[in-house]
Amino acid sequence: MLSFESDYIEGAHPKILECLERTNMLQLTGYGMDELCDSAKNRIRAVCGTPEADVFLLSGGTQTNQLVISSLLQSYEGVIAAETGHVNVHEAGAIEYSGHKVLALPSHNGRLCPKEVKNYLSAFHADQNNEHMVFPGMVYISFPTELGTLYSKQELTELHSVCAEYGIPLYIDGARLGYGLASRAADLTLREFASLCDVFYIGGTKVGALIGEALVIPKGDAPKHFTTLIKQHGAMLAKGRIIGAQFEALFTDGLYMQLGRHAIEMAEKLKALFKEKGYRFFIDSPTNQQFFIMDDQRISELAKLVAFSFWEKVDDTHSAVRFVTSWATKEESIVELSKYL
Amino acid sequence: MLSFESDYIEGAHPKILECLERTNMLQLTGYGMDELCDSAKNRIRAVCGTPEADVFLLSGGTQTNQLVISSLLQSYEGVIAAETGHVNVHEAGAIEYSGHKVLALPSHNGRLCPKEVKNYLSAFHADQNNEHMVFPGMVYISFPTELGTLYSKQELTELHSVCAEYGIPLYIDGARLGYGLASRAADLTLREFASLCDVFYIGGTKVGALIGEALVIPKGDAPKHFTTLIKQHGAMLAKGRIIGAQFEALFTDGLYMQLGRHAIEMAEKLKALFKEKGYRFFIDSPTNQQFFIMDDQRISELAKLVAFSFWEKVDDTHSAVRFVTSWATKEESIVELSKYL
Amino acid sequence: MLSFESDYIEGAHPKILECLERTNMLQLTGYGMDELCDSAKNRIRAVCGTPEADVFLLSGGTQTNQLVISSLLQSYEGVIAAETGHVNVHEAGAIEYSGHKVLALPSHNGRLCPKEVKNYLSAFHADQNNEHMVFPGMVYISFPTELGTLYSKQELTELHSVCAEYGIPLYIDGARLGYGLASRAADLTLREFASLCDVFYIGGTKVGALIGEALVIPKGDAPKHFTTLIKQHGAMLAKGRIIGAQFEALFTDGLYMQLGRHAIEMAEKLKALFKEKGYRFFIDSPTNQQFFIMDDQRISELAKLVAFSFWEKVDDTHSAVRFVTSWATKEESIVELSKYL
Amino acid sequence: MLSFESDYIEGAHPKILECLERTNMLQLTGYGMDELCDSAKNRIRAVCGTPEADVFLLSGGTQTNQLVISSLLQSYEGVIAAETGHVNVHEAGAIEYSGHKVLALPSHNGRLCPKEVKNYLSAFHADQNNEHMVFPGMVYISFPTELGTLYSKQELTELHSVCAEYGIPLYIDGARLGYGLASRAADLTLREFASLCDVFYIGGTKVGALIGEALVIPKGDAPKHFTTLIKQHGAMLAKGRIIGAQFEALFTDGLYMQLGRHAIEMAEKLKALFKEKGYRFFIDSPTNQQFFIMDDQRISELAKLVAFSFWEKVDDTHSAVRFVTSWATKEESIVELSKYL
């Protein structure tokens, strides 16, 4: 069945499988200390324009978020996130499990408002009773957000500057970073992006890889003994090469950005199709997650022919649904979908 | 350079790569809820003779140990392990990070003594002040142990029965299970093994896979909402298929046991070689990790030609070293090694 | 200086000091296993009409909340609370430190709405993706709330029944329970109160004691080895008698309820005074915390003569302030205050 | 019945009760920010000769140990302690509950050997695989130890210097500090003691107080926002004055040291009595805990007349028992005991 259910329904881009095969019988050191991982990390440093960066290759998004947040925060600190932020709603309490509160601020279509963050920080530090409260110790955002939206360069600059003012890091969850940077609406490059935050990760799993997220700490100021922290969180693979190979392939010959562009092209076609068919947008998303409003009966009929996600009820007879494209989406699939709409 | 450094220096057995490729463009549901994972789990249930078993596919050993131990223990409980147990020494405090004490008992060449476990439990429950102490809530052993040794069927039966008497689970870390069961010294089958504990995992990473450990709970009594616990620990992969594929291949046509047997054959040859050359054994290991005693000067010379691990000082001029074989060890390598000894 | 700053500015009611003195040189067993603690617990069981109850004597509110919530919840569960709930805002992240998320629902003058709780639980259990979310595992309310308001018997009954329907406990923070039950607006007795929840604590520190909160689990179904959990949280006192003595005195000859009534009488006089002087109420509180709206300039002048708390800005020139009475408030103090208003 | 069961069977020294009464109706700020706490802290700074010290007043030993250890350690660190150390055996896993491993080294009658600590640290840092292990981040000792023994000034100096060499703090649990310093075997003053460690606490509960331990950080380099950490651990009392009053009295007119001397005098008499009666010593303790070896039958008979603790079996027919004196022990009690021996 035709599927627009998510951006992780297929396996890996063929070049990744090729890399795995080509390097398969090399005898490499364990725990990510091997040449393949080194090479992948250097490619990432180069493309980000951050030669000093610490780079760590991890398995998944929740793991990365939990590790970064709990390692960078002091015990008395929490992390500011949008109410809709992944860490606040869909990570089964992984942040709290590691001891820290998610300090939820209003979501503006998935985004935090820099001014509201500033006001929150300013009010917190003015409060004479704040010793009895959770200290805001980091700002977490996702790019693109969980609703497909993006921050502008201006907004990132403001957020980063608010964070700097209060001496706390800005951490960006880039699970779908490739799709964000490739969007027509994005007004910044990966290099600019890397210079506008303190920690971020480049999502592999949703952008062509089978597994893997590359954590980048641009200034090279990772917490002491971060490798031990990775081990302690159960996040270290004996054969680190499996993630090394993914990023080696993704960052050779511009593959990562190319996959991003393909998904965005497909998303634009999808968007045009729904517009043409007269559907309303639930959110005007410029990335690979698209949200439309549909009649509930239409939804149940369509669901027999195409896989997609229910998002939320909009009114008594309508709901929002999500259609997702990816590096693997074929143009034929959109043509086929057009027949059903 | 010739290497006997560990059993995780190569990638995956070719049949695993084949499986990854063959299934690569299938559109599968995320988070391990797909057909490939289902099929792999069913193969595991079948080969273990545990049709009711809960099976979960995880990434690595430390992750599995942390998840199992923290999920099965109550907050006031700790886990009994041998002093040399992996969870006690080489997991960067992952168990304590999750809130639980490792209650270390003496190691007998890596093994716990069933009688000593019984005495410990009996003394604990007789102590009137035990409310101020950590309750022993589980017994952890590894099979083979970190020193390559094995428990006999008789010993496992005794340990399991002690655990049952005190109402606590026996958990077996099978990171190298394939090598243990294939040993000539092993006097039990996988089915018997599965019936002599409450939880165990079948190690993939060290026995032919690129990644993956299959957690088996034979009676199907996994803790409630274990999937959520996996997510909360950052241990859930969006593309669970990557581990599904490894175990699908490993448990098709007896591959897993075949890989085990190969490593053991190679270990036997290695052992014979060292014996022939007049070396003493540090431990008489019947599995794929072999420990020899060597003159320190000999060690530094040999280290220029072959990779292996320093284990510990034995006396002023001698040390123990570890040589490891695996599914990928070639007979030529042993022949080559013989020239250097 | 005249003070209405809080209900914990004085030491203990004289009868408590008397009890401490009278029992001072008795040789008693440690860790709360003594006769004084036993007697206090039995008095509490009797007055609550819960002969089967488990009763534990603890030091403070945050400690009690952290211990109860983390002990009753499973790892994958969080606690529902009002946004304004003490556990959500003024406990320095103690709940998250113990691994659990506070699931904040809207506050209605400090109260949760039973229907909203029901809707939340119902929506959660209908959500097919809830395995990636924090399971609601308990409802926390305070009586009186942090804003001085009360739940009616009807509301408690509804909340309790919603909790029962979803199989989760209703936990009531009674830091100021004595002041709540003594309010003219309260329509239930301590016995009825004890029958309408699964766990609660009777606040001592703010109602006449120097230290101490009595945790009551009416049906006697405390988590296994709760004493060990108390120890593990660093919450066990070697000389448990110090809290035993407080509750022995508080629950002899109806002292606890008498102290509650006195504070309420004083609060009523305070309320009448402010009304008479033409002040508006920020919240119409029926208990010992009173919230008024004042001109900011008036506030700074008054603050030179009387201690009270700033609460929050109301508009550009006005703020809400809090005045608190207690068991120790003297009528003369209110007369004196009237001169300043 | 005559009791030598522990040093926490009586309430408080009368001067402490007097202080509580005298200050009872003072209106004081909450959370330990009051004048009484300030005064007590200043007295402690003065007597320790550490004018810059940070002093915090806490409720009990386990609480203090958990708070100090978890606040001073990094996530990847554990605490070195003797196998017999209180944190290793009798705190219900409170240290592990806070995420840290207790790295147990051999006990020499309760003491760590400075040379063994140095060897451990040196071996750890020489180990190339130490990234997979728990980093030793602190040394914990108790003075007196759990077996009544003391470190000499020379030993403390060595331990402190080993710690300094490896950049980790030396933390001393002084639950019975008063009894240690008053011992004839002690060759150092409180001031010297305070200069030979990085953190310690002065035990109140076992030395005359009803409750309270005074945590002293001599150089004033407490972790940032330590007050918030106290709150987060549920260790902050609303009426901090209750502990302030204990230490105000204990450190007025040399009461604390005087109580220590009394207990030691009584212990010397006890020791002499047992010696005279021909009993063997299990440990030759110079402080208020005394350990004798007795015939098992004698023990059961004596237990009908006097309260004391069983310690451990020595051989088939003998056991070690513990007799404890305190500030409250009366000379008559020893006379009475002599009749029973």
Integer Cα distance of D279 and D290 in angstroms: 12
| pLDDT value, residue A147 | 98
Neighbours of C1 (CB within 10 A): 9
Q: Which of residues 250-279 of C touch D (CB under 8 A)?
A: none
Tell me the shortest Cα–Cα distance from A130 to chain D, in angstroms. 9
How many Å apart are CA C232 and CA C243, to the nearest integer?
A: 19
Decide if D233 touches C, using CB distance below 8 A.
Answer: yes
- Report phi then psi at B136, rounded to 5: -70, 120
D310 shares contact with chain A (CB less than 8 Å): no
| Of B285, B243, B267, nearest in space to B325 by CA | B267
DSSP symbol at C174: E
**pLDDT averages per 10-residue partition of chain B, 341 residues:** 96 98 97 98 98 98 98 98 98 98 98 98 95 98 98 98 98 98 98 98 98 98 98 98 98 98 98 97 97 97 97 96 98 96 90
Stretch A125-149: mean pLDDT: 97
- Residue C246 amino acid letter: Q
> Is the distance from CB of D247 to CB of D216 less than 8 angstroms?
no
Q: What three-state secondary structure class fits D298?
A: helix
Query: Amino acid letter at D215?
Result: L
Which tokens belong to C105?
Answer: 């629902």
Q: Is C131–B74 a contact, with Cβ atoms under 8 angstroms apart?
A: no
Paired tokens of C335: 């007369």
Q: What are the tens digits of pLDDT across the range A106-130? A: 999 999 999 999 999 999 999 988 9
Residues of chain B found within 8 Å of residue C135, distances taken between Cβ atoms: 225, 228
pTM of the complete model beyond 0.90: yes
Per DSSP, A155 falls in state H
Q: Which residues of D touch C60 (CB under 8 A)?
A: 234, 236-238
- Position D285, amino acid: S
Question: Using CB atoms, which residue from C27, C234, C238 is nearest to D205?
Answer: C238
CA distance A96 to chain B (A): 9
Quick check: helix, strand or coil at residue B269?
helix
Give whole-number Cα distances, A28 to A240, B8, B28, B170, in Å.
9, 8, 31, 34
DSSP C130: G
Asked if D180 and D287 count as a contact pair (C-beta separation under 8 A), the reply is: yes
Q: Do D23 and C11 touch (CB under 8 A)?
A: yes
Q: Note the pLDDT of residue C218.
A: 98
CB contact under 8 A, A65 and B234: yes
Task: Determine whether the interchain pair D97/B99 forms a contact, defined as Cβ–Cβ distance below 8 Å.
Answer: yes
| Confidence at residue D38, expressed as pLDDT on a 0 to 100 scale | 98
Q: Can you tell me which residue has the tokens 């009749």? A: D339
ipTM (interface predicted TM): 0.97
Confidence of residue D226 (pLDDT cuts 50, 70, 90): very high
Task: Answer yes or no: do C11 and D232 touch at CB < 8 A.
Answer: no
Which letter, b or e, does each residue of A64-82 get, where b requires 16 or more Cβ atoms within 10 Å of its Cβ? bbbbbbbbbbebbbbbbbb
Where does residue D141 fall: left (phi above 0), alpha (psi -120 to 50 degrees), or beta otherwise?
beta
Task: Locate C69 and state its tokens.
Answer: 């919530």
pLDDT tens for chain C, 341 residues long, are: 899 999 999 999 999 999 999 999 999 999 999 999 999 999 999 999 999 999 999 999 999 999 999 999 999 999 999 999 999 999 999 999 999 999 999 999 999 999 999 999 999 999 988 999 999 999 999 999 999 999 999 999 999 999 999 999 999 999 999 999 999 999 999 999 999 999 999 999 999 999 999 999 999 999 999 999 999 999 999 999 999 999 999 999 999 999 999 999 999 999 999 999 999 999 999 999 999 999 999 999 999 999 999 999 999 999 999 999 999 999 999 999 999 99
Q: What strand order describes the sheet that includes D280-283?
A: D280-283, D289-295, D318-324, D309-313
What sections of chain B are H helices per DSSP?
A: 14-22, 35-48, 61-72, 86-89, 94-97, 114-126, 153-166, 177-181, 190-195, 226-232, 241-250, 255-276, 296-302, 331-340
Mean pLDDT in residue range D274-302 = 97
Inform me whether the C-beta atom of residue D102 falls under 8 Å from chain C C-beta atoms.
Answer: no
CA max distance for chain C: 63
Average pLDDT, chain A: 98
Helix spans in C55-113 (H):
61-72, 86-89, 94-97
Compute the distance between CA of residue C179 and CA of residue C189 in angstroms, rounded to an integer. Answer: 12
Question: Could you tell me if D305 and D338 are in contact, meaning their C-beta atoms sit under 8 angstroms apart?
Answer: no
Could you tell me which chains touch chain B, where touching means 3 or more CB pairs under 8 A?
A, C, D
CA A259, A263, A266: angle at the middle one, nearest 5?
A: 140
Burial of residue B276 (CB within 10 Å: 0-12, 13-18, 19+) is: exposed
Chain C residues with beta carbon closer than 8 angstroms to that of B32: none
Distance CA C27, CA D340 (A): 20
CB-based burial, C24-53: b 16+ in 10 Å, e otherwise: beeebbbbbebebbebbbebbbebbebeeb
The answer to whether B151 and B113 have CB atoms below 8 angstroms apart is: no
Q: Phi and psi (nearest 5°) for D270?
A: -60, -45
HEC profile for A215-266? EEECCCCCCCCHHHHHHHCCCCCCCCHHHHHHHHHHCCCCHHHHHHHHHHHH
Residue D75 and residue A68: Cα distance in Å, rounded? 13
Give me the amino acid identity at B30: G
CA distance B279 to A197: 57
pLDDT digits (tens, 9 = 90+) for D80-107: 999 999 999 999 999 999 999 999 999 9
| Kind of pairing between the strands at A170-174 and A135-142 | parallel
Do residues B259 and B208 lie in contact, with contact meaning Cβ atoms separated by under 8 Å? Answer: yes
**Whole-angstrom distance, CA of residue D53 vs CA of residue B309:** 48
B275 touches B174 (CB < 8 A): no
The predicted structure's pLDDT at residue C323:
98
CA distance C278 to C272: 10
Distance in angstroms (rounded) separating the CA atoms of residues B6 and D80: 31
| Residues D24 and C12: beta-carbon distance below 8 Å | yes
Q: How many helices (H) and strands (E) does chain B have?
A: 14, 13
Note whether A136 and A77 are within 8 A (CB).
yes
Cα dist. A96→A168, A178, A179 in Å?
19, 28, 29
Per-residue pLDDT tens over the stretch D49-64: 999 999 999 999 999 9
Tokens of C210: 């120097």
What tokens were used for C66? 């952290």
Strand partners, A105: A82
**Amino acid, res. C195:** S
Structure tokens at B254: 């007896």
- Which residues on neighbouring strands pair with residue A234, listed in sequence order? none
Judged by CB atoms within 8 Å, which residues 32-71 of A form the interface with D? 70-71
Answer whether the bond into residue C223 is a cis peptide, omega within 30°: no
Mean pLDDT along residues D269-296: 97
**pLDDT at residue A297, rounded to an integer:** 97
Amino acid present at D27? Q
- Chain D partners (3+ C-beta pairs within 8 A): A, B, C
CB B310 within 8 A of CB B321: yes
Tokens of A263: 């998904």
What DSSP state is assigned to residue B288? S
User: Please, what sign has the CA dihedral across residues B246, B247, B250, B252?
Assistant: negative
Q: C124 touching A, CB under 8 A?
A: no
Residue numbers in A near B205 (CB within 8 A): 237-239
Tens digits of residue pLDDT in D16-37: 999 999 999 999 999 999 999 9
Share of chain A above pLDDT 70, in %: 100
Of B78, B92, B97, the CB nearest to D93: B78
Residues of B in contact with D97 (CB under 8 A): 75, 99
pLDDT of residue D157: 98
